[in-house]
Amino acid sequence: MDGANGHAPNGSASTSGATFERIQVINDEKQFTPDLTKQLERWGLRDAGFDYNIVAVFGSQSTGKSTLLNRLFGTTFDVMDETRRQQTTKGIWMCRGKDMNVLVMDVEGTDGRERGEDQDFERKSALFSLASSEVLIVNLWEHQVGLYQGANMGLLKTVFEVNLGLFGKRSPKGGANGRTLLLFVIRDHIGTTPLVNLQATITADLNKIWESLSKPEELQGCQLSDYFDLAFTGLPHKILVPDKFESEVKQLRRRFVEKDKEDFLFKPAYHKGIPADGVAFYMEGIWEQVQSNKDLDLPTQQELLAQFRCDEISTAALADFNEQAKSQKRPVEAGRVVEGLGQLMRNWRTEALARYDRDASRYHKGVYKRKRQDLLGVIDSTLSPLFLGQLKNLHKLCLSSFKKEVLDSLKGEDYSFADVVGKARDKWEGAFVEAAKEACIEGPEWSWEEEYTLLKEETQIVADQCRKDETKKMVNAIERNFKKQISEPVELYLNQPSGDMWDKVLKVFKETLEKAESTYLVKAKSFNCTEEENQTALATLRKRAWLVLRAKVDEQTTDTVFLGKLRSHFDERFRYDEHGVPRVWKPEDDIDGAFKRAREETLELISLYSKISPTDSSLQFTLPSEPSDSLNNADEFDFPATLVVFSDSKCLDLTNKFRRDADAYYVEAKRSTVSSVAQ
C-alpha cells in the first residue's frame, strides 16, 4: 500500500479514459478515501442526480466475486492470480460500470471468520454497503447452500441485524428508501439440484436466521420481506462450461441494464435517494459513524448530508452571483445610473436560485427549503445597496436634468413658464418612476416611493426658485420700460411749472403704472404664481415705479437745474415783455415794480415744486410704508417722506440763492438804463 493517505493508487486497466479507473474507498486500515468526490467527477457521475445505481457484492474469499463483477459491469477489479492464490481485495473498492451509471463496490471477502478483527470489518462493511447499495449480490458456491453453519449464513445474520439498526426504527414496511434487494448468485451451479430447490433452501435458512434475531420490542412482528426482496440466479461452472458461463453472465448483465424490462433489478424502491453529488460525503459520514461504533440512523445522516451539500451548493451559487454583483458595485457607488440594472439583478438572482434549485432540490426537502431562504436573504441583502444606490443616483440625475432643461428653455424666447416647468417635470419625474420600477425585483419588499416623494419635493423647490428668478427678471424689465416711458413726459411737465403740474405728472405716472401692472399680470399667468407672490411682485413694481419717478423728479430739481428753471421763469417775466421781446429799459419805466412782480411770481415756484401734491385729490398716489422690499431687501421705506421734494430749510436756501441771482439782474437792468441815457 502506498500513496499519501495509505490508499492504493488508482489503477487503470485502460488508458482510454477515466471510466476504467478504480478507487479504494476504504483501505485495509479502515480509512475512508478523501478522493471519492474527485473520482465521481472523473467518472462523469457527479451531475447524474438520482440517475445512477449502486451495487455491492458480499461473499467468502475467492468465490469469484471480482471475476463476476468484471463480467457483469465491465469493471477492473483485481482477480486472484491462480498461481499465487492469495486474497486480493482489501477493504472496499469501487468502480464505475462500463457504459452504465452504476457504482460497483467490491467488498473484501470474509472467509477468515476465525480472526476476530475480520468480524469487526465484516459488520462495518455490511452496514456501509446496506446504507448505500440498492442491490447486494450475495455470492456463494452451490455446495455452500444449506450449510447453515457456513460462513455465508453468519454474514447474512450480520446483514439482517445491521439492517434492523439502520432502518428498523422506521415503519416496518421499510419506508421509501429502506428496501434492498438481496441477489443470491449461486456459483458453479451444476444443475442436478434445480434452482427452485436451492432457492427454497436458502429462503428457509434466511427465515430461520430472521427469527433467531433478537429484535427490539416494537419490531417483534416484522418480517424479512418487510425490508428485503430476494432474487436468485445460478451460474454454470466457469472452468468446466466456460461458454455457458459467459452466456448466463450476459443474461444476468442484461437484468442490470434494461430498465424497461420486468426483471430489471435496480427497482426505484431500492434507491437510497442520495444525489450523485452527495454520495461521497454521505458515504464518508456513514463510515465515520460506523467506525466510531455510533448508532447509525439514516434519516439523520441524510439530513446532515443535505445540510452540508445545500451549503456547498449555495456557496457555489453565491460565488458566481457575488462576482456578478460586484461588477456593478463600483459604478453605482461612483454615482452612475446603471442602465438596466433591474434586469441584471433579476438575471443574477434567477441564475443563482436556478443553480441552487437544480442541485439542492434533490436533498432533504426541509433542509433544502431552509437553506434556500437563507440564500435568498444573502442575495437580496447584497442587491439592496445596489438598488438604493441606483435610486439615489437616479434622483440626482433626474433633478439636475430637470433643472438644466428648465434653465435652457428659459433662455429662449416666447415660452410659457408653467409649460416649461410642467413638461420638464413630467419628463424627469416620469423618467425616475420608470427607471425606479425597472430597478425593483420581485420578492424583497423594496420601495422607491419614498425617494420619489423626496425628488418631487426638490423639483418643487427648484421650480419655485426659478419662478422667483423669472419674476424678478420680469419685474426688472417692466421697470426699465416704465422708466423709458415716463422720462420724457415728466421732464416736460416739470419744465412747464403750472398749478396742475403735479396733476399732469401723477396722471402720466398712474397711467404708465397701470399699463406696467397689467403687463405683469398677463405674463405672470404662465408662472403659476400664487396670489401672494403676485401681490408681492405688484407691490414691488409700484414701489420701484414710484422710486423711478422720484429719481426723475430729483434729477429735475437739483440746485443747478432748478435754479436754472427759476431764472428762466424770472427772465420771461422781467427781461422780456408779454410778447416775448427783450425789454430795453427807459428811465421812466417802473423797473422796481416789474422786478418785484417777476421775483415774487418766481419765488412761488419753490413752494409749488417743494411737494408732490396734485390739486385734484383723486390723483393723489400713495404707497404703504412697508418695512422692506422683499425682492431687493431694500431699506425701510417711508412713503410720505418721498412726497417732499424740498424741505423747509431747502426752500429757504433756494429762496436766498435765487434772490441773489435776481438782485444781480436788477442791478444789471438799472445799469443798462444808465448807460442808455448816457449815450
Whichever of 76 and 314 has its CB closer to Mg ion, that residue is: 76
Q: What is the DSSP string of 499-563?
A: TTHHHHHHHHHHHHHHHHHHHHHHHHGGGT--HHHHHHHHHHHHHHHHHHHHHHHHHHTSHHHHH
Whichever of 63 and 459 has its CB closer to ligand GDP, that residue is: 63
A 10 A CB-CB count for 323 gives 10
Closest CA to 244 of 205, 295, 190, 165: 190
Q: How far is the CB of 137 from Mg ion (least distance, A)?
A: 12
Whichever of 79 and 269 has its CB closer to ligand GDP, that residue is: 79
Q: d(Cα 117, Cα 599) in Å, to the nearest integer?
A: 151
Decide which of Mg ion, ligand GDP, none touches 75; Cβ closer than 5 to 8 Å per partner kind.
Answer: none
Decide which of ligand GDP, Mg ion, none touches 289; Cβ closer than 5 to 8 Å per partner kind.
Answer: none
Decide which of Mg ion, ligand GDP, none touches 82; Cβ closer than 5 to 8 Å per partner kind.
Answer: ligand GDP
Q: How far is the CB of 109 from ligand GDP (least distance, A)?
A: 5
Q: d(Cα 494, Cα 511) in Å, to the nearest integer?
A: 17
- CA-based end-to-end distance of the chain: 161
Q: d(Cα 580, Cα 573) in Å, to the nearest integer?
A: 9
Closest CA to 103 of 211, 21, 9, 226: 21
Decide which of ligand GDP, Mg ion, none touches 187; Cβ closer than 5 to 8 Å per partner kind.
Answer: ligand GDP
Q: How far is the CB of 8 from ligand GDP (least distance, A)?
A: 16
Q: How far is the CB of 204 from ligand GDP (least distance, A)?
A: 25
Q: How far is the CB of 65 from ligand GDP (least distance, A)?
A: 3
Whichever of 75 and 382 has its CB closer to ligand GDP, that residue is: 75
Decide which of ligand GDP, Mg ion, none touches 67; Cβ closer than 5 to 8 Å per partner kind.
Answer: ligand GDP
Whichever of 110 and 393 has its CB closer to Mg ion, that residue is: 110
Number of residues forming the site for Mg ion (CB under 5 A): 3
Q: Using an 8 Å Cβ cutoff, are 315 and 366 in contact?
A: no
Q: What residues from 36 to 95 belong to the interface with Mg ion (CB under 5 A)?
A: 65-66, 89
Task: Copy the grid coordinates of residue 54.
Answer: 449502486
Residue of minimal Cβ distance to ligand GDP: 64
Q: d(Cα 174, Cα 366) in Å, to the nearest integer?
A: 21
**Can you give the length of the chain in residues?**
679
User: Residue 159, exposed/middle/buried by CB under 10 A (0-12, 13-18, 19+)?
Assistant: buried
Which residues contact residue 395 at a Cβ distance below 8 angstroms, ignoring those fewer than 6 apart? 432, 451, 454, 455, 458
Q: d(Cα 243, Cα 543) in Å, to the nearest integer?
A: 125
Q: How far is the CB of 359 from ligand GDP (least distance, A)?
A: 36
Residue of minimal Cβ distance to Mg ion: 66
Whichever of 232 and 264 has its CB closer to ligand GDP, that residue is: 232
Phi and psi at 407, nearest 5°, equal: -65, -40
Whichever of 67 and 602 has its CB closer to ligand GDP, that residue is: 67
Whichever of 124 and 467 has its CB closer to Mg ion, that residue is: 124
Q: What is the DSSP string of 402-446?
A: HHHHHHHHHHSSS--HHHHHHHHHHHHHHHHHHHHHHH--SSS--
Whichever of 82 and 442 has its CB closer to Mg ion, that residue is: 82
Decide which of Mg ion, ligand GDP, none touches 7; Cβ closer than 5 to 8 Å per partner kind.
Answer: none
Q: How far is the CB of 288 from ligand GDP (least distance, A)?
A: 27
Decide which of Mg ion, ligand GDP, none touches 62; Cβ closer than 5 to 8 Å per partner kind.
Answer: ligand GDP
Q: How far is the CB of 20 from ligand GDP (least distance, A)?
A: 17
Binding residues vs ligand GDP (CB under 6 A): 61-67, 79-80, 82, 88-89, 109, 187-188, 237-239
Residues of the shown chain interacting with Mg ion in the complex, contacts defined by CB under 5 A:
65-66, 89
